[in-house]
Structure 1
Amino acid sequence: MRAVFVIFLISIAMLAAKLFHVQIIKHEWLKARAEENWDREIPFGAIRGEIQDRNGELIVGNQLAPTLYFMPSQNKEPEKAAAAIAGILNADADELLEKMSKKEYMVKLAPEGKNITQEQADEISKLQIEGLYTGVDYMRNYPNGELLSRLIGFTGYDGLGLAGIEYAYDEILQGTGDKIRLYTDAKGVTLPHVDDGFQTGDNGASIELTIDLGMQKVMERELLQALEKYDATQALGIIMNPKTGEILSLVSMPTFHPAEYQDTDQAIYNRNLPVWMTFEPGSTFKIVTLAAGLEEGVVDLHNDHFNDPGYTMVANARLRCWKREGHGHQSFLEVVENSCNPGFIEIGQRLGGDRLNKYIRDFGFGESTGSGIAGEAKGILFSKEAFGPVEQATTAFGQGISVTPIQQVQAVAAAINGGNLYRPYIVKEIKNDKGETLQSFEPEIKRRVISEETSAQVREALESVVANGSGRNAFNDGLRVGGKTGTAQKVVDGTYRDGDYIVSFIGFAPADDPELLVYIAVDSPKNSVQFGGVIAAPIVGRIIEEVAPLAGIEKRDGQLEKEYRWGDPITHRVPDLTGMTKGMVARQLHTYRIQWHGEGEVIKYQMPVPDSVMSVDDIIHVYTEE
């Protein structure tokens, strides 16, 4: 009996110790394990990271969009509940009832109850329907509408990125989301002795692009007007800082609204034209041939001359100039100004096939630029075996090869920035939700392709193209614009299509120290002569004029004056009339039309400002009072 009694006491002590261990020492751990068996989570939508421009302006954000969840075990009258909320959601009651009758512990009422308005959520909340919960969700918000849509892309039903920046940087932009934890038994009945919980998630990181929204708006407006004016199939544009490779604007037209991508042709939202589209570059490619010829010393712009009869013979093939009668005797600077095909064939022949091909590849053609933009193509070049005399000749003036617009911009940037080939890039910084920088991106030089001296000669020649040559419609007084036209016949099923062209222009400013590089192309324009100098050049001229202040570019001295040609409007420099009286102005014997404002004696200021260009029909407004 004593032994039994001792064993009993020991057992009581062990039981007490175990109870102490379970209820005191292991209490929190066991409670957490139990709650994991009891909890039912109502998710709050993850807050996806924002997409901003280089100045922190919002491109893509988030807006509150409640979502409904239903626990069938907590409601004995699903038919009544479905009928009550169907009217508010403008949904079919039978379809809702089918979802609300599922043998699941929780049902997401989607798509009817996903991303509903706050007003609908408030109205449903007043019904006090058992088992119906409102989860906090978010949907993408586009404060600028369709702006940049083919670059930024869109998110799908589940909030994941499906195209563009949203797709390429999906893992960075995603958040984990908060959750409400409800505690129920196996049948879904709420446990009265356990308080509901809340689990905090993480917000997604935000992406700051190199894009300047101000420049983007200008570019999109101009290309939209071009589409309408010329009844074109599509259009594209790029603005880049040639000194860094930062892409300041990227446009594909036509565009679409990212929130309505389901109603958009996939060929639109899946194709970001500046990186996806490949076509014969035409005369804009001549910049590469020119840079190679100058670097190798096979041509002198001022001292070498060339006679153009309108064609040249290469391996029994007659290759014509765009000007049928030819340009006659000209310096190689005039060859560039006139965009003379036989002249560029001559430069290519002086270089030889191997050297020309080497420079083409050194300038980045035939490979991806590494921009980080989804869907980038590589273009098509002749293989070494297929690069015969005719292919060499046509390549020298931009025919027979296929390149992307972003490759052309990368190459021309190197030709004018001093000879450095920069990698184009679109993302500037990645930041967490506290604004702290997680990763930043800096300019990256791939290699040097030409010397500073050669680059200066290229800039000189291209400024002359705008002042005196085929790019005269891009001229802007004081901004010193340089550039090159392009007119490429479209190839369909291996043959050139008559009367169907892609017209383009690539321009930069200022020519002495380039800060902006602008490229646009218009596909299949109508209602006009199909030349890059007629259609594309004036568009680039207007874009540069409007975005120059955004880039901090001011007018400067030393520009090449635009050469007057028959048919041009007659212009003159505005005289400086400030500080003069009406009598002094009369004694100047000016023939300008002058309109006086104010009752004072002395001119305080005038419009247009002195030394700007005005036509003979314009009026000078002078103001005699502040």
Structure 2
Amino acid sequence: MRTFILLQSKKRLRAIFVIFLILLALVVGKLFHVQIIKHELLKERAEANWDREIPFGGMRGDILDRNGDLLVGSRLAPTLYFMPSQNKDIAGAARALADILETDAAKLEEKMAKKAYMVKLAPEGKNITKEQSDEIARLQIDGLYTGVDFVRHYPKEELLSRLIGFTGYDHQGLAGIEFAYDEILSGTGDKIRLYTDAKGIPLPHVDDGFTTGKKGSSVELTIDSRMQEVLERELLQAMEKYDSTQALGIIMNPKTGELLSLASVPTFHPADYQNVDPSIYNRNLPVWMTFEPGSTFKILTLAAGLEEKVIDLHNEHFFDPGYVMVEGARLRCWKRSGHGDQTFLEVVENSCNPGFVEIGQRLGGKKLDQYIRAFGFGQSTGSGIAGEAKGILFSEKSFGPVEQATTAFGQGISVTPIQQVQAVAAAINGGYLFRPYIVKEILDDKGETLQAFEPEMQRQVISEETSKQVREALESVVANGSGRNAFTDGLRVGGKTGTAQKVVDGNYKDGDYIVSFIGFAPADDPELLVYVAVDSPKNASQFGGVIAAPIVGRVIEEIAPMAGITPRREGQLEKDYRWGDTLTHRVPDLTGMTRKSVRGQLYTYQIEWHGSGEKVKYQLPAVDTLIGVDDVIHVYTE
């Protein structure tokens, strides 16, 4: 019996020992699995419980002009982060920081004492200067960290502000190009990972981590910032001179649809948008504003009339008594006494309303409406610019004889400036309607092209021969007609004036006009198309030919070299003298002449001598330049 009991005990001990060995093997296996096989996974999970991230602001992509000049970039602007658990004297830290940040110490202390593992000291410590950051670093405040952040940098200050727009507190695009291309421009920020215990104390056995972000892509515009500077300067001067409420301008390459300048004034600084009336930064006038175009619209009626061969510019006459009767309505010409007998070229030169009513009637309402829509009116141009309007045309049912007549000379309809520019470009470039566009390329953070945008021709509206006739007629307008103030010697400018009475609450407002001019150069092969409109000008006759035409002439003259246009007088129409014009003459060739011969033959000119020699070596202005009778010719001797 005792032997049986002993045997049973040995079996039990052996079983327990085997079970112990099995359990030990399981424990060792588990430890091997945890510490060796799943080490990295479990370490990551543990670190996730320990880590505290300090985010760095994402660096947005740049906005560049067509030549690669920086319009908007990003500038380093640090932001402060504070871990309350790591500092035993929060009140003292708040007082020291408040002095540098120029803020209230009590409010800052309240923020720093929050029961949170990390506090972003914003707005007091957001986007601080480098000088402030350096001064704070010298304080060696426990628990205070400086995160990298960025703010938008505007090297050209207010230039293009209403087109480019701005970003908000969180670097998100809120207006303009910044808004329309926000997803492309946005970058992902770097991050520092700090490892602490539950109390926020750094863990000495774990190295801090760093995650690299990615800069946003850059947007290269079709805009030429040099041309933009010229146009904005002229518009701002016009606003001041004529005490106008606002002004706008567009420069386009009529052969491609590239927008070289898009200007609205008054302007604002994008970094200070919060202190600006929203009606300024929310309205990009060249695409947002709609108004009656006035006589600039006559270009399209002319093009349609020539294409359908219902008029002959040179061999057909029209008599203007100063008005025309349509369905019992008296539609007047701007010249109340009328222009009398004219060729249709003179109808164009004089911007004669009854003459254009005649063209519209010969076309017929249906055909005129077809051409207007074919030129792109009544719908968005598809430029991709935020806030673009569509304008308003008469419906087919409402397009009666009177509406047809007024539309023919640009009254009763509502269009946008960019629609007018698109349509006139087609009228002068051979008849091809190109979609206006503002973005040239999308570039990655290394400057490599991700996407390029090319000219997009939508359709041909008129023939090249008709387009040539339109160009010739509009050059004659500048040389001999209502656009004479845009004449630029050597550049062969063509164009058309526009004077539109403003409509308020459905009624025309007396004495309140939008005056405009659209011009192009060279007239025989247009490379530049410039449109300018001035809203509610004062202190001058409210006509496009008086106010807007000289602005366009000056702009074209200054930007022509930027577009590679060389002045040439070959084929240019001479500007006829009219009463009130400044007397002009062409500069004679004085080179090689002696002082005696110059004084003997050219006594009517003002000559200023430079140098002590006897013979003229060179002169300014150049030979054959058109100058006023009171201008001075500078001659330089040997």
Fold conserved (TM > 0.5)?
Answer: yes
Alpha-carbon distance in 2 for matches of 1:599, 1:268: 58
Q: Give the structure 2 partner of residue 611 of structure 1.
A: 624
1:21-73 deviation per Cα after TM superposition (whole angstroms, max 9, x unaligned)? 32223222222222122111111111111111000101011111111111122
Structure 2 counterpart of 1:34, which letter?
Answer: A
The alignment status of 1:223 with 2:229, answered yes or no, reads: no
Give the CA deviation at 1:357.
Answer: 0.3
Alpha-carbon distance in 2 for matches of 1:74, 1:585: 89
The alignment status of 1:489 with 2:501, answered yes or no, reads: yes
The alignment status of 1:559 with 2:572, answered yes or no, reads: yes
Alpha-carbon distance in 1 for matches of 2:359, 2:199: 84
Give the TM-score, by structure 2 length.
Answer: 0.96
The alignment status of 1:235 with 2:247, answered yes or no, reads: yes
Alpha-carbon distance in 1 for matches of 2:453, 2:301: 32
Q: Give the structure 2 partner of residue 537 of structure 1.
A: 549
| Greater C-alpha radius of gyration | 2
Give the CA deviation at 1:77.
Answer: 2.9
Structure 2 counterpart of 1:534, which letter?
Answer: V
Give the CA deviation at 1:583.
Answer: 4.9
Equivalent pairs counted in the alignment come to 625
Alpha-carbon distance in 1 for matches of 2:131, 2:60: 23
Matches within 5 A, 1:377-416: 377-416=389-428
SS for the counterpart of 1:161 is coil
Q: Which of 563, 569, 583 pairs up with 2:582?
A: 569
The alignment status of 1:274 with 2:286, answered yes or no, reads: yes
Q: Which of 445, 451, 458 pairs up with 1:433?
A: 445
Greater displacement, 248-257 / 576-585 = 576-585
Alpha-carbon distance in 2 for matches of 1:387, 1:22: 83
Matches within 5 A, 1:350-389: 350-389=362-401
Greater displacement, 105-114 / 495-504 = 105-114
Greater displacement, 573-582 / 215-224 = 573-582
Give the CA deviation at 1:119.
Answer: 1.4
Alpha-carbon distance in 1 for matches of 2:78, 2:25: 56
Alpha-carbon distance in 2 for matches of 1:345, 1:600: 64
Q: Give the structure 2 partner of residue 49 of structure 1.
A: 61
Give the CA deviation at 1:589.
Answer: 5.6
Give the TM-score, by structure 1 length.
Answer: 0.98
Give the CA deviation at 1:246.
Answer: 0.6
Structure 2 counterpart of 1:152, which letter?
Answer: I
Alpha-carbon distance in 2 for matches of 1:415, 1:124: 63
Matches within 5 A, 1:79-90: 79-90=91-102
The alignment status of 1:247 with 2:259, answered yes or no, reads: yes
Alpha-carbon distance in 1 for matches of 2:75, 2:481: 52
Give the CA deviation at 1:590.
Answer: 6.0
Q: Give me the CA root mean square deviation.
A: 1.3
Percent identity, aligned pairs only?
Answer: 79
1:158-206 deviation per Cα after TM superposition (whole angstroms, max 9, x unaligned)? 1111111111111111111001111112232221211111110111111
Q: Give the structure 2 partner of residue 306 of structure 1.
A: 318
Q: Give the structure 1 partner of residue 38 of structure 2.
A: 26
SS for the counterpart of 2:213 is coil
Q: Give the structure 2 partner of residue 71 of structure 1.
A: 83
Alpha-carbon distance in 1 for matches of 2:602, 2:251: 45
Alpha-carbon distance in 1 for matches of 2:250, 2:556: 12
SS for the counterpart of 2:396 is coil
Greater displacement, 1-10 / 245-254 = 1-10
Alpha-carbon distance in 1 for matches of 2:508, 2:630: 45
Structure 1 counterpart of 2:183, which letter?
Answer: E
Structure 2 counterpart of 1:90, which letter?
Answer: E
Give the CA deviation at 1:586.
Answer: 5.5
Alpha-carbon distance in 2 for matches of 1:245, 1:88: 52
SS for the counterpart of 2:424 is helix
Q: Give the structure 2 partner of residue 62 of structure 1.
A: 74
Q: Give the structure 1 partner of residue 472 of structure 2.
A: 460
SS for the counterpart of 2:174 is strand
1:289-308 deviation per Cα after TM superposition (whole angstroms, max 9, x unaligned)? 00000011111110111000
Unaligned runs of 5+ in 2: 1-12
Alpha-carbon distance in 2 for matches of 1:566, 1:234: 32
Structure 1 counterpart of 2:296, which letter?
Answer: T
Alpha-carbon distance in 1 for matches of 2:246, 2:110: 46
The alignment status of 1:329 with 2:341, answered yes or no, reads: yes
SS for the counterpart of 1:154 is coil
Greater displacement, 357-366 / 599-608 = 599-608
Alpha-carbon distance in 1 for matches of 2:407, 2:39: 79
SS for the counterpart of 1:604 is strand
Structure 2 counterpart of 1:563, which letter?
Answer: D
Q: Which of 470, 473, 476 pairs up with 2:482?
A: 470
Give the CA deviation at 1:78.
Answer: 2.2
1:379-409 deviation per Cα after TM superposition (whole angstroms, max 9, x unaligned)? 0000000000000000000000000000000
Alpha-carbon distance in 2 for matches of 1:278, 1:617: 43
Alpha-carbon distance in 1 for matches of 2:186, 2:578: 59
1:79-136 deviation per Cα after TM superposition (whole angstroms, max 9, x unaligned)? 2222221121111122212222222211111111111111111222222222211111
Give the CA deviation at 1:331.
Answer: 0.3
Alpha-carbon distance in 2 for matches of 1:558, 1:404: 34
SS for the counterpart of 1:236 is strand
Q: Give the structure 1 partner of residue 9 of structure 2.
A: none
Structure 2 counterpart of 1:560, which letter?
Answer: L
Alpha-carbon distance in 1 for matches of 2:91, 2:326: 83
Q: Give the structure 1 partner of residue 25 of structure 2.
A: 13
